[in-house]
């Protein structure tokens, strides 16, 4: 790996990996150094930094935290930038292997969700389907997959205890939500949901969970399905520009994430389904033509429910109406590309029948 330049070293001395990333949005030479506490730090690319503490044989967690997959979702970027800064400056002592990813630096610089294409629809090989690696976001998705694979597979500890893999992809939503914070649990192909993960989400102040029913092209599904990781897309609130986030609203999530990487275990309470709002996907509505139109206001919140028969959207001659009682909308976005999901319809559910 290359030696750090003087400018890069100065930024890292102050813990400002985010600024280093945003100053070099397209690429960054790989480099490696050791902190005074013995933690090995590897910069693998722009926005990609790996921390490996001096591990004992009982440490079995490999943790990935990602943010900025959508460039205008700033609160998670600020949370991760602070965590990385405190690790680099020794204010936070690392306990477990950690990979932190700032997903789309060019979009972060542009304060936009994406530059050309939605990065969070390009994982599990979707980056190379169709037209192939034709833009920076497709190439970045492929690279992020490779960095995650390498991180999970290249472990210095040689104990025989199975290692526990995690990926928490942190986001904020385009619109508000009836439940300010919520998580998306990727489709597990009939494997049981994990009580411990619900307990961790609750420690992050997240008690609304959407259980997916089909494979997806998201980062969290990639980590879950390809690497067997406990993985989630976590929505921490509504999109705000840098400097406009009320960081007190993320205090519990920030504390839980810091505890996750720096302690043997996170302080949690026993899982009680009655403390959660659980939903499953009832149907997905995909945009088929440029005539697609939503028939509710732009400020309607996620998880809003309407009476049966209510017109939700039209797509040319096609009408989409509420089909069953309790059906609610989530992630409505008429501006997606043709063929992509424009809205999910969800209904309340339970996990009691398949939880471990």
User: Known catalytic residues?
Assistant: 235
Chain centre to alpha carbon of residue 297: 27
C-alpha dihedral sign at 219, 279, 183, 227:
negative
Q: How many Å apart are CA 208 and CA 238, to the nearest integer? A: 15
Number of Cβ within 10 Å of residue 124's Cβ equals 19
Give residues with Cβ within 8 angstroms of 296, minimum separation 6.
304, 306, 312, 329, 332
Q: Which two tokens stand for residue 328?
A: 């609610």
Let me know if 241 is exposed, middle or buried by CB neighbors in 10 A (0-12, 13-18, 19+): exposed
Q: With contact defined as beta carbons under 8 Å apart, do 202 and 268 qualify? A: yes
Exposure b/e, 68-96, CB count within 10 A at least 16 = b: bbbbbbbbbbbbbbbbbbbbbeeebebbb
Alpha carbon distance, N-terminus to C-terminus of the chain? 43
Q: With contact defined as beta carbons under 8 Å apart, do 348 and 275 qualify? A: no
């Amino acid at each position: 790996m290359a030696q750090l330049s003087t400018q890069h070293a100065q930024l890292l001395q102050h813990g400002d990996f985010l600024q280093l990333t945003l100053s070099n949005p397209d690429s960054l030479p790989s480099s490696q150094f050791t902190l005074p506490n013995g933690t090995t730090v590897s910069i693998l690319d722009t926005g990609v930094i790996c921390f490996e503490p001096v591990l004992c044989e009982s440490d079995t967690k490999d943790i990935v935290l990602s943010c900025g997959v959508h460039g205008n979702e700033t609160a998670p970027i600020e949370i991760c930038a602070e965590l990385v800064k405190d690790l680099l400056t020794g204010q936070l002592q690392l306990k477990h292997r950690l990979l932190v990813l700032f997903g789309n630096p060019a979009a972060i610089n542009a304060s936009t969700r994406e530059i050309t294409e939605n990065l969070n629809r390009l994982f599990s090989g979707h980056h190379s389907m169709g037209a192939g690696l034709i833009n920076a976001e497709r190439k970045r998705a492929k690279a992020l997959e490779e960095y995650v694979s390498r991180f999970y597979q290249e472990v210095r500890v040689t104990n025989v205890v199975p290692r526990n893999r995690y990926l928490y992809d942190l986001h904020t939503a385009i619109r508000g939500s009836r439940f300010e914070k919520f998580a998306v649990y990727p489709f597990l192909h009939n494997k049981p949901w994990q009580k411990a993960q619900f307990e961790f989400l609750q420690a992050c102040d997240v008690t609304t969970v959407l259980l997916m029913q089909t494979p997806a092209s998201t980062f969290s599904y990639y980590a879950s399905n390809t690497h067997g990781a406990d993985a989630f897309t976590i929505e921490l609130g509504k999109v705000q520009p840098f400097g406009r986030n009320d960081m007190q609203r993320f205090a519990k999530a920030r504390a839980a994430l810091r505890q996750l990487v720096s302690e043997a275990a996170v302080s949690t309470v026993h899982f009680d389904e009655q403390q959660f709002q659980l939903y499953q996907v009832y149907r997905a509505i995909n945009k088929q033509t440029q005539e697609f139109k939503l028939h509710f206001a732009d400020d309607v919140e996620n998880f809003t429910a309407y009476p049966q028969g209510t017109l939700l959207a039209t797509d040319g001659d096609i009408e989409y109406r509420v089909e069953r009682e309790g059906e609610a909308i989530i992630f409505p976005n008429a501006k997606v590309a043709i063929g992509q999901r424009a809205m999910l319809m969800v209904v309340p559910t339970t996990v009691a029948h398949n939880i471990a």
